Amino acid sequence: MNEFNKTFLLEMIKSPIVIAFIIIGLFGLFFYKKFRGFMGEFWVRKELSKLPKKEYYVLNNIMLESSRGMHQIDHIVVSKYGIFVIEMKNFFGLIKGNEYDKKWIQQFHNKKYYFQNPIHQNYGHLQALIEILGLQKDVFIPIVCISNQANLKVKTTSNVVQLDFLISLIKSYQTVIVNCDLQTIKTKLEMLNIKDYKKRRLHISNIKENVKNEDMICPKCGGKLIEKNGKYGKFVGCSNFPKCRFVKK
C-alpha cells in the first residue's frame, strides 16, 4: 500500500460518517437478537391492535407466578370466544418440527439450530393461567405464532401460524365459551403482572441456566453429557459409555 492510499485510508477512518457506520455495525452485531425479538413483539402487537377493542382485550408481555414458578407470556387476548395464549417466535429460515418433539429445528445457510418446542413451552403458560384464573382448560386457546420470514414445515394439530394469519385464526373462533366478566379477568392479570425489573431479569437468567443444563442431558439414555478427550481432540459424549455411544455434535 503506497503512502497516498495509507493517508486516504486514515482520513476515511477519521470521518464522522465512517465512525457512525462502524458504531451502527457493532451495535447490530451485539444486539441483533434482542432487536429481532423486539421487532417480533412489535409486529404482533400491531396485528393484535386490529382486533375490535369492544370484544377483545389484548395484554402484552405478561409475567405471572404460579406454584410451578415464573411464566413470561408474550401475549394474552381475552374474549368471550376464548382466552388466547400466544407464544411468538421471530425466526427466519426453515423451521421443522412435530407436535411431540422435544426440540424443533431452525435451519439456514446449511446450519441447524435446535430450540425448545414452542407448543410445549406455551402449554406451561396455559397451565399457569388455569391455576391463576381458576377457569376450565377448555376456555384457553394456545397459539404459536412464527414470523413471516420463516418457512414452516411442522406437523401438528395445534395452532401454529405465521403472523399474517394470526388475526384470521383468532376471528375464526366464534362460539361463546367464556361466560364470566372479561374486564375482571383482564384486571386480575394486570394486577398480578410482575413488573419488577430484577425479578424479570432473574427469570431470564433461570431460563438460560435451565436450557444449558437441559443441553447436557443425553437424549438417548438420559445420562449426563461430559467433556472427553478423543483421538481427534475434545468432544462431548454420554457418561454411560460404552452402553450409550451418543456424541453431541
Beta strands at 225-230 and 233-238: parallel, antiparallel or unpaired: antiparallel
Q: Give residue 20's domain range.
A: 10-215
**Residue 172: which residues within 8 A CB-CB, separation 6 or more?**
none
Say what the pLDDT of residue 81 is.
98
Say what the pLDDT of residue 198 is.
84
- Kindly provide the b/e burial profile for residues 190-205, where b requires at least 16 CB atoms within 10 angstroms of the residue's own CB: eeeeeeeeeeeeebee
Cα torsion through 21, 26, 29, 30, rounded to 10: -140
Whether 238 is covered by a domain: the verdict is: no
Amino acid symbol at 32: Y
Whole-number Cα distances in Å, 214 to 29, 94, 104, 224, 225: 27, 23, 14, 10, 10
Whether 243 is covered by a domain: the verdict is: no
Q: What is the DSSP letter of 50?
A: T
Say what the pLDDT of residue 115 is.
86
Whether 131 is covered by a domain: the verdict is: yes
Q: Give, for all 249 residues of the chain, the pLDDT tens digit.
A: 555 555 655 565 556 665 555 565 555 545 556 666 667 778 899 999 999 999 999 999 999 998 888 899 999 999 999 999 999 999 989 999 999 888 899 998 888 888 889 999 999 999 999 999 999 999 999 999 999 999 999 999 999 999 999 999 999 999 999 999 999 999 999 999 998 888 777 756 655 555 555 566 565 555 677 777 776 677 778 777 776 766 776
Say what the pLDDT of residue 216 is.
62
Say what the pLDDT of residue 7 is.
61
Whether 242 is covered by a domain: the verdict is: no
Grid coordinates representing 132 are 391463576
Q: What is the DSSP letter of 121?
A: H
CB 76 within 8 A of CB 209: no
Cα-atom radius of gyration of the chain, to the nearest Å? 23
Q: What's the CA gap between 62 and 70, in Å, rounded?
A: 11
Query: Hey, is 2 helix, strand or coil?
Result: coil
Whether 155 is covered by a domain: the verdict is: yes
Overall domain count for the chain: 1
Nearest to 161 by CA among 148, 173, 174, 172: 148
Whether 5 is covered by a domain: the verdict is: no
Asked if omega into 52 is within 30° of 0 (cis), the reply is: no
Whether 241 is covered by a domain: the verdict is: no
What's this model's pTM, rounded to 2 decimal places? 0.73
Whether 186 is covered by a domain: the verdict is: yes
Strand order in the sheet with 111-116: 111-116, 103-108, 93-98, 150-155
Query: Hey, is 153 helix, strand or coil?
Result: strand
The cell 405478561 sits on which residue? 62
Say what the pLDDT of residue 210 is.
55
Which H or E run includes 148?
none
